[in-house]
């Protein structure tokens, strides 16, 4: 849980170092797996070739995914995982001779910093300098919700109405969304039943459903996948961040057999011609195998339950705090907004970041949103330190 600064300071990592770390820093089994792989095979071209670690991990990962997701496409980070999903979706329709070009996304969604990912995340407001270079994406309002939210039914209905309007033309190739939690736009949460309804309606219009689980995957929501709460399996699932336990970069786009079939065969013009030099790098895949083994162990799921219960127990107290609003939780993720506003990268968030540092915590607020997204090994006492810091920050920084 701990990071040690150059001046001897000790920081508890309450945000899993930008949401990548699952099992704590320098986890010995993952470190050993990388060292062993490095002395065997460090890299080999993956375009038209394969290697044992990649084949093993693909099979092991696919076994954990809800059917009919069964096919694994490798890349090397979260942005590429979503680029790949968008490209597969467009080419899927193209290969079948179907005219569908429109991409739908959710207002406030974040899918990475490359051009396709930026286009699908345009509404997040991070990409103003590139506005005219992004392709057209249609956005649906995101019905974010929190503890004791009286208006959620209306928000969801408005969102679904807009979706129905956009689906009328029947030219929607795919919808991309972060199931249950939008991470970068401030840990904004939505209900599983609404996510399921979006997926059902897009499917009914013969569009594909892409779940971007780059942040929510590998147990953050207290199930292995946020998809497991939703109950509707997407056609394409994007994974990265936690995939190697926070050691090395790796991206995966999982697909159904039906999608795979639309690309299979001898004709190269039907193939998905997308590859990065470090696609399926053996060291990264070795780390991912070691991390998945720990993730599937009983101890890890016990930790999800323990952290979730601990968050749930403190929720009423935080919701009653005069300096906090929109208190919310999804599994191991806890978030609240400090009253009085403040934008992303603004003075309030920087001042709060400093305050947490001085109190021995690595916590990086998103605007006025404070959140905990800890490695699963966090102790009950360390969780309490996080809650105390949130309470104290709310007293100091709220402007209600």
Q: Which residues bind ligand PLP (CB under 6 A)?
A: 77-79, 82, 110-112, 178, 183-184, 212, 214-215, 240-241
With b for 16 or more beta-carbon neighbours within 10 A and e for fewer, the 212-236 pattern comes to bbbbbbbbbbbbbbbbbbbebbbbb
**Residue 165 CB, nearest approach to ligand PLP (Å):** 26
Tokens encoding 365: 């607020």
Q: Which two tokens stand for residue 245?
A: 């336990």
Q: Based on CB atoms, which residue is closest to ligand PLP, 236 or 389?
A: 236
Closest CB to ligand PLP among residues 239, 262: 239
Beta carbon nearer to ligand PLP, 1 or 252: 252
Cβ-based neighbours of 262, under 8 Å, separated by 6 or more:
92, 95, 96, 270
Nearer to ligand PLP, 184 or 390 (CB): 184
| Closest CB to ligand PLP among residues 117, 394 | 117
At closest approach, how far in Å is the CB of 184 from ligand PLP?
6
| 212 vs 325, beta carbon nearer ligand PLP | 212
Shortest Å, Cβ 150 to ligand PLP = 28
Outline where 320-365 has alpha helix (H): 347-358
Alpha carbon distances (Å) from 323 to 17, 176, 258, 390, 391:
26, 34, 50, 10, 8
Handedness of CA 264, 267, 271, 276 (dihedral sign): positive
Provide, rounded to whole angstroms, the least separation between the CB of residue 183 and ligand PLP: 4
State the minimum distance, in angstroms, from the CB of residue 166 to ligand PLP. Answer: 22
Residue reference for tokens 């001046």 = 7
* Residue with the CB atom nearest ligand PLP in the bound state: 78
| Smallest separation (angstroms) from ligand PLP to the CB of 394 | 25
Report angle CA 268, 270, 272 to the nearest 5 degrees.
Answer: 85
Q: Going by C-beta distance under 8 Å and a sequence separation of 6 or more, which residues neighbour residue 351?
A: 397
């Amino acid at each position: 849980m701990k990071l040690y600064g150059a001046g001897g300071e000790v920081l508890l990592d309450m945000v899993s170092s930008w949401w990548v770390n699952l099992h704590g820093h320098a986890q010995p089994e993952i470190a050993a797996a990388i060292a062993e792989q490095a002395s065997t095979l460090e890299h080999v071209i993956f375009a038209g070739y394969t290697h044992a670690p990649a084949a093993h991990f693909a099979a092991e990962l696919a076994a954990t995914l809800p059917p009919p997701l069964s096919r694994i496409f490798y890349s090397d980070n979260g942005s590429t995982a979503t680029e790949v999903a968008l490209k597969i979706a467009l080419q899927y329709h193209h290969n079948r001779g179907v005219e569908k070009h429109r991409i739908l996304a959710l207002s406030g969604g974040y899918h990475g910093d490359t051009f396709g990912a930026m286009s699908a995340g345009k509404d997040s407001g991070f990409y103003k300098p590139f506005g005219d270079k992004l392709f057209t994406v249609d956005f649906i309002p995101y019905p974010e919700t929190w503890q004791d939210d009286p208006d959620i039914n209306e928000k969801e209905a408005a969102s679904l109405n807009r979706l129905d309007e956009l689906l009328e033309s029947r030219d929607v190739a795919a919808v991309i969304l972060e199931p249950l939690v939008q991470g970068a736009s401030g840990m904004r949460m939505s209900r599983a039943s609404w996510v399921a309804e979006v997926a059902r309606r897009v499917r009914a219009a013969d569009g594909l459903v892409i779940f971007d689980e780059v942040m929510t995957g590998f147990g953050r929501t207290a199930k292995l996948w946020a998809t497991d709460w939703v109950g509707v399996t997407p056609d394409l699932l994007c994974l990265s961040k936690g995939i190697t336990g926070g050691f090395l970069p790796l991206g995966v786009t999982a697909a159904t057999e039906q999608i795979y079939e639309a690309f299979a065969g001898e004709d190269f013009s039907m193939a998905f011609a997308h590859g990065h030099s470090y696609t399926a790098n053996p060291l990264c895949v070795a780390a991912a195998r070691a991390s998945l083994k720990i993730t599937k162990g009983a101890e890890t799921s016990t930790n999800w339950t323990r952290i979730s219960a601990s968050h749930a127990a403190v929720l009423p107290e935080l919701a009653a705090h005069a300096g906090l609003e929109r208190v919310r939780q999804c599994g191991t993720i806890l978030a609240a907004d400090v009253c009085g506003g403040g934008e992303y990268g603004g003075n309030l968030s920087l001042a709060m970041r400093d305050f947490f540092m001085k109190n021995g915590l690595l916590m990086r607020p998103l605007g006025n949103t404070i959140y905990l997204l800890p490695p699963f090994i966090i102790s009950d006492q360390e969780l309490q330190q996080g809650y105390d810091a949130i309470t104290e920050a709310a007293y100091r920084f709220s402007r209600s």
